[in-house]
Chains A and B, each alone.
Chain A
Amino acid sequence: MKEAMLNVRGISKDFGGLKALNNVSFEVGEREVVGLIGPNGSGKTTLFEIINGFYLPSHGSVECCGQRITGLLPHEIARRGIGRTFQIVRLFPKLTVLENLLVAEQHLKGELLLHALLKLRHVEAEDRANKEKALKLLELVELGHKKNELAENLSYGQQKLLEIARALALEPRILLLDEPDAGLNPTIARKVFNVVKELKKEGKSVLMIEHDMETVMGLCDRVVVLDFGEKIAEGTPKEIQANEKVLEAYLGKVKK
């Protein structure tokens, strides 16, 4: 039995009478890649915002490694080991590529006011170590040569990759990816795919929102399907593909 890294328990969310999520529960285990799929407006991103603490759920709670995180502030949740990317990339455009990663470092002494001012030797050593670590991550997403470029000068695909690398720099216990390959050309989408595959090999836990079934089939151990805020199915990608409810949810959309 794999230990649950992320445990979503009975999450509901109302927006002024509108039910965006209704009693959704599932787990993401250690070293597991779980796909979260569903038609547009089914509540996937809302669920991400709740896990991250940007929204508070109306009911239910989320646990990370057995500890309740619901009610914590977003930055506290991030420090508990939940990293994420956004559907529309949110980089720091006027910071360099390298700096974007360095912001994600945790427990930096150099971020403490006094240490920053005194510029102590151990802070410098810490800086060097972090830089090396960041450069390694940049190599992973093949952006090492762009390290001194401003993030805003990267192509959209490169920005998506950088955002993933930045989330990894947080050294998260679980990584939430919101449509990592949406809007990318096939070459870059392939790169993103390979990066996630690499993470999987390294034993990271990942929860990803994904539209492309081929990607889901290729990457995910398990799939959770949302429709109109309800979980309508959960299982291996193969089971999901054969699930009638799922087909209905998607085909119903197509008919419209």
Chain B
Amino acid sequence: MIDLLGMWPYFLHLLIYIGIYAILGMSLNLITGYTGLLNLGHAAFWGIGAYTSVLLVLAGIPWLLALVASAVLAGLAGLLIGFPSLNLRGDYFAVATLGFGEIIRSILINWSEVTRGPLGIPGIPRPEVMGFVFESNEAFLALVLALAFLTYVFLRRLTRSSFGRVLRAIREDEIAAQALGKDVNKYKLTAMGIGAGFAGIAGGLFAHYITFIDPTSFVLNESVLMLLIVVLGGMGSLEGSLVGAVALVLLPEPLRLIGANSDITWLKTGFAQVRMAVYALVLLLVIIRLPQGLLGEGRNRK
């Protein structure tokens, strides 16, 4: 008999992850799903947000202020990476963002005077807002959900406006959008900046949840997982990214439970690999069999 009540902390943990990945997925969706820029370096923005927030908080700056700084700095990084890459064709843009992501990871590893390099930064305090510390996981979940909700509302407004319409038009045909008087680069940059900024916020949350960060959290594999959320949920659908985040976090869990309650040793020792292999397989299948994703455009339209 599974002890459901005893599993509450475990569910709580999963829900917090879902909230964080939902922010990452929605923000990447703005860049990749709506604007059509295949971004393979989203984890780098996440990492910049995480490190910014942690370093500022450890320097005595209030968490909320540090979170704003995370968003701003990650957003600026988005602009910095976006600006020179704007004129690159689709797959080249993807590779350029991948390259930038790896460069940022290199910096996180090697700039050890600031980041402590591969050792990582332990003992990160939980967020504190006006004297209230989000110490319990229940409180933290409320915080994550609130921020995920704000992200959703913000991005929904943005994507449903004429602004969002132009982003989608750029994704569909950049040349035609230019011929209609749209400053394509300005729109692309704005999308990069905003998308990266929200990834920074996710970083500021994540770091203060697990209370330890090192560069291995912000690698290419993570960028691919975020892409999986977007692709699985559907390009150009924020709701899809929510569903995608839920699916991504829950998908490998049955395997974990089976591994924990049985004698299948390879599932126990190799769970991390099984998990990534499952993700890879799902990504492959979705692209080939379900290119619009679960809630993508062209599915739910009258």
Give A contacts to B, CB under 8 Å: 52, 54, 73-76, 78-79, 83-84, 86, 90-96, 99-100, 102-106, 108, 110-113, 115-117, 119, 123, 127, 148, 150, 166-167, 170
Residues of A within 8 A of B177 (CB): 75, 92, 103
| Complex CA–CA separation, A123 to B270 (angstroms) | 55
Q: A94-B297, A113-B163, A116-B163 are in contact. Are A52 and B169 (CB under 8 A)?
A: no
Give B contacts to A, CB under 8 Å: 154, 157-158, 161-166, 168-169, 171-173, 175-184, 190, 236, 297-298, 301-302
Residues of A within 8 A of B182 (CB): 75, 103
| Complex CA–CA separation, A76 to B185 (angstroms) | 12
Residues of B within 8 A of A103 (CB): 165-166, 169, 177, 180, 182
| Complex CA–CA separation, A105 to B68 (angstroms) | 34
B230 to chain A, nearest CB (A): 15
- The closest CB in chain A to the CB of B181 belongs to A78
Q: Which of A54, A83, A91, A111 contacts B162 (CB 8 A)?
A: A111
Residues of A within 8 A of B298 (CB): 94, 150
> Are B184 and A95 in contact, with the CB atoms below 8 A?
no
- The closest CB in chain B to the CB of A102 belongs to B165
| Complex CA–CA separation, A166 to B164 (angstroms) | 18
> Are A90 and B173 in contact, with the CB atoms below 8 A?
yes
Q: Which of B154, B161, B165, B178 contacts A95 (CB 8 A)?
A: B165
| Complex CA–CA separation, A129 to B164 (angstroms) | 18
- Interface hub of A103, A127, A150, A166 (most chain B Cβ within 10 A): A103
Total residue contacts A-B, CB cutoff 8 A: 107
| Complex CA–CA separation, A93 to B175 (angstroms) | 13
Q: A110-B163, A150-B298 are in contact. Are A93 and B172 (CB under 8 A)?
A: yes
Which are the 3 A-B pairs with shortest beta-carbon distances? Answer: A116-B161, A110-B162, A78-B181
Residues of B within 8 A of A111 (CB): 161-163, 166
Give 29 pairs: A residue, B residue, CB < 8 Å, sorted on A.
Answer: A52-B179, A73-B178, A73-B183, A74-B175, A74-B178, A74-B179, A75-B177, A78-B180, A84-B179, A86-B176, A90-B175, A91-B173, A96-B301, A102-B162, A103-B165, A103-B180, A105-B162, A111-B161, A111-B162, A113-B158, A113-B163, A116-B162, A117-B157, A123-B161, A123-B162, A127-B162, A148-B302, A166-B180, A170-B180
B100 to chain A, nearest CB (A): 24
| Complex CA–CA separation, A131 to B162 (angstroms) | 12
- Interface hub of B163, B175, B190, B298 (most chain A Cβ within 10 A): B163
B44 to chain A, nearest CB (A): 24
Residues of A within 8 A of B172 (CB): 91-95
Residues of B within 8 A of A105 (CB): 162
| Complex CA–CA separation, A127 to B160 (angstroms) | 12
B29 to chain A, nearest CB (A): 15
- The closest CB in chain B to the CB of A110 belongs to B162
Q: A103-B180, A148-B302 are in contact. Are A92 and B161 (CB under 8 A)?
A: no
Residues of B within 8 A of A106 (CB): 181
Residues of B within 8 A of A167 (CB): 179-180
Residues of B within 8 A of A113 (CB): 158, 163, 190
Q: A91-B176, A94-B172, A95-B172 are in contact. Are A112 and B165 (CB under 8 A)?
A: no
- Interface hub of B166, B168, B179, B190 (most chain A Cβ within 10 A): B179
